[in-house]
Every structure is written in C-alpha cells, then in structure tokens.
Chains A and B, each alone.
Chain A
Amino acid sequence: MNLNTNQAMVYLDYAATTPVDPAVTDAMSACLGAAGTFGNPASIHSAGRQAGLVVEAARDQLAGLLNCQARELIFTSGATESVNLAVIGTARFRAGRGKHLITMPTEHKAATGAFAALEREGFDVSYLMPDERGLLPLDDLKHAIRDDTQLVSVMHVNNETGVIQDIASIGELCRREDILFHVDAAQSVGKLALDLSTLPVDLLSLTAHKMYGPKGVGALYLSDRPGCHIEPLIHGGGQEGGLRSGTLAVHQIVGLGAAADLARSRHVEDLAHLRRLRERLWAGIRRIAGILPNAYLEDSFAGVLNVSVEEIDGESLLLALEPVCVGTGSACNSKSGEPSYVLRALGRSDAHAQSAIRFSFGRDTTAEEIDFTVCRYTDAVKHLRAISPAGRKTA
C-alpha cells in the first residue's frame, strides 16, 4: 500500500463536528462589528433591544425546529453544559423527594461525568446495560425504577455507534411513573425529526455545531409542564429566566437559530443523502474478511457507520487512513490506547473495540469521497494485515 498520497482531505467525522453553513456565517456576521447587532440583550437602550430581538428570533427558529414553545428553551454554551444543567440541575432540585437516578454506561461523557459528580454528592445512580443491539431494555428500566427515582437520562442517538434509542417508549414509561426524562439529543437535533409537542420528553440537550452551526452555543429544552424544574448551575445576572446567568452570546445564538432554520427545511433531504452514502460505503467494505458493524444498521442513524475489523490496531488503521478524517468515538486514544467504553459495554472484546472506526457523513459528503474511502480503508486493512504476525509464515 502506498501510504503517501496527494489526495485532498476527506472529512468523514460529522458526528464530531460539522462545518458552519455559509448562510449561518452570514447571519452571525450581521451581529458583529459596529454596524451589526452587537448590543447586550440585557441593556435597555436601542442597541440592547435590537440584540434582544434577534436572540428571540433565534429562539423562535429553534422552537420551530423542535415544535416546542420558545419560552421552553434556555441558551447555553453547548451540549455538555446543557446535559450538566439538565442532570445536575434536576437532581439537586428534586433531591428532597429522592436521590435515585437512572442512566446508561453508553452515554456521552458529558452525562456520565455529571452523574459521577452527583454520586460524589450522595446520589444513587443506576447504570442500565444496553441489550446486544445497544438499546435500553424497557423491562430493565421498569425494574430499576424505585419510589425515590427522580430522573432518567438517555441519549437519542449514540455518538459512537449511531444507535437510536426508543425515546418515545422510554418517555411514556417515565410519565406513567412521574419521573422526569432527559434526552441528550446532541447527535439527533436537526438530523432526525423531533416533535416535542408529542414526545414525552421533559428535558432535551442540544448543540449547534453538530448541525452546521457554530461551536460554543447550545440549548436546553425544559418543558413548561408542571413539575419540570431545575436548579441553576451558573449564578449571576439572572439571564434565561435565572436558569443560566451570563451575557447572551448574540452572534452564536443567531447562528444556532439560522442552523435550526436550515435543518428544518433540509433534514428530510439530508437524511436521504446520508442513507445513500452509508449504503455505498457499507457495500464497498462489507466483504473485507473479519469486518463487523458495531450497530445494526436498521437501528442506527444513517449518518454513522461504526465498524471493527479483526487483528487490526485501531490507532494504526486511523493513521493509515489519512487523509480520510474519521472518528474512533472514544476508542483509541493515541496516548492511552484505551478501547471504547461504549463498545465494551456492548460486549465487544478489547481487541475488537480497539479497531473500531466511526465514519460519519454530512451534507457536503460526495459519492466520490465515499469511493476513495472504500479504497483507502480496504488497502489500509490489507497493509496492516500483511505486516501482522497473525498472518506470518511458519518456517
């Protein structure tokens, strides 16, 4: 294999982040500079009021995408903050009623980190294992619920495998048991249809940069139905109804709104494009000996394909794939070499988890890029196997 190549970068890591759409950039630029809407929305003068108007317009745009009330949205710095606010804010607010919380070990570290912090505060957290498909078994959830359970938190689309949880069924169960339900939707907002007017979801975290918006801004949906309350984590000027103090980042919020608007008009078309790309990639690599997808394709988001191959070191595979940029989820940290905790929770062996590669596609991905990736991946696997002791000739 010729590992040296002049091919331009092929970006297949849209689950990590997306480029900002030009329409979003334009909307954000209009908020910067002396002639822009640069005011502080907390100010009562005209520049502040003008900024306040564009912030509220962005809130309306996001509410339009999610089909919720604009007043149910709290702007944050991104999904990690939203998840922390949802999980820790809910747990602390309801601590007087009970201290039991439920989540899964396959959640993003934003969630598992927040739950670990709560455990140090004396909360009791149940981590429910996924079934072999990566899904939360509803019976296990039923059995885990106790009188003092206050919150269930799961992610909609898993960031490593793309597995889609059945949030409607989980939410219904939580409603019946009068337990709040939080969904980490960082990977699904703007990509899959989400109608919060009908879904039994109480809190939902999202970020802009996974849907062609800017980094550094996100939102938390907090249902206005009775009983849905949280304690703020950041105290100060009382912005966002006192739930998230701090001067609103007008240009970032406007970018989030513009990205939401685009997603609303494009997500059906985008999803069809992603399906075609994933089918093309899988058709190209499925015959490689020892290859195994880390999720059932029918259960997972079409924008993600996570695969492992036997007898291949993931970190070497990642480097041999360059200039194709792919993710390893939390797989092979180049320093620690620690395999993905998500894949291990799904029952994959360390060796299997260590060779995992996450391909994720986006609006701008082309069929030609997929074809190049098929060749590169096939050649890389062939090369690493050729130099591996597993295939060595015995004297």
Chain B
Amino acid sequence: MKPESATDPYSKQVRRLFANPVHAGPLPDEYNGGVVAEATESENGARIVLSAVVNGDTIHLLRYQIFGCPHLIAAAEAFCDDAEGRPLDALIDMNISTLMEGLAIPVEKTGRLFVLEDAAKALHISVSESRSTED
C-alpha cells in the first residue's frame, strides 16, 4: 500500500492556480462592486463572495474573495477563469464533480466545494433580480 504521506495532497493544477490567483479579490473600482453573492459552509467556515460584471447575457468579469483551503481557492480560480466570457447560465451549469476531477481534488473535500456551487447559483439569482429591478 502506498503510504498517504508519500503523496502530494495537491495536484500540479491546484498548486498552479493557488500560486496564481488572478481572479482573486474585488472587482476594479470603476465597476462599483458589480453584482455580488456569497455562500458559507458551516462545518469548516469556508466562505466565498463572487462579484460579477455582466454585459447582456455574457459574464464580462468574475472575481472571488475567499476563506478556505487551497483546493477551494484553486477551484474558485479555475471556475472564474472558465466562466468569464461565457453566457450567464455558466453560473448554474457548473458541475462540481467535473471540476474536482479536473483538479484531482480528493473526494473528502466535496462538502467544502459545494460552497462554490452555492455561491455561483446565488450570483445567478442576484443577476436576475438586479435585472428585474432595472426593468
């Protein structure tokens, strides 16, 4: 049996994304905060705030602020990078299993990763609500 300690808990992708979190932080000031949604996971206290600028039906900018483990940070970075430039429904089409598989995130972290899905769905609702208010 391969000893657990001999394996790196982080894949190369997770290490790369954790070290280069280009989508981390708030939106640039000129967007005045954009549309914001957040989600919290009670067990480990993981928390994500997603901020978006949406042009028409397209996600123009997507940023995250986060309190969580390296796997969650890497997943948020990968998600934001992928979602930018895509239709708004990318927020509700997110598949946590696919994301975890792509980043080789251990299944034990699944609970924590759901906070990202919750935040994305909440952001989709916030965008819809802000539009109906504008209407």
Contacts and interface: CB of A to CB of B under 8 A. Distances in A.
B38 A389 contact: yes
A74 to B, nearest CB: 28
A313 B69 contact: yes
Given A315-B69, A334-B9, A393 B26 contact: yes
Contacts of B69: 313, 315-316, 332, 334, 337
Interface in B1-33: 9-10, 15, 18-21, 24-26, 32-33
Interface residues of B, number: 33
B49 interface: yes
Given A335-B109, A395-B33, A387 B24 contact: yes
Given A335-B108, A337-B69, A389 B47 contact: yes
Contacts, number: 68
A279 B89 CA distance: 54
A389 B65 contact: yes
User: Main SS of the interface on chain B?
Assistant: mixed
Contacts of A392: 26, 49, 65
A351 interface: yes
B30 to A, nearest CB: 12
B68 to A, nearest CB: 6
A389 B108 CA distance: 24
User: Main SS of the interface on chain A?
Assistant: loop
Contacts of B113: none
User: Which of A334, A387, A390 has the largest count of B CB atoms less than 10 A from its CB?
Assistant: A387
Contacts of B19: 3-4
Contacts of B124: none
A335 B68 CA distance: 13
A332 B108 CA distance: 13
A108 B112 CA distance: 28
Contacts of B91: none
11 contacts: A3-B19, A313-B69, A316-B70, A334-B69, A335-B9, A337-B44, A386-B24, A387-B21, A389-B65, A392-B65, A395-B32
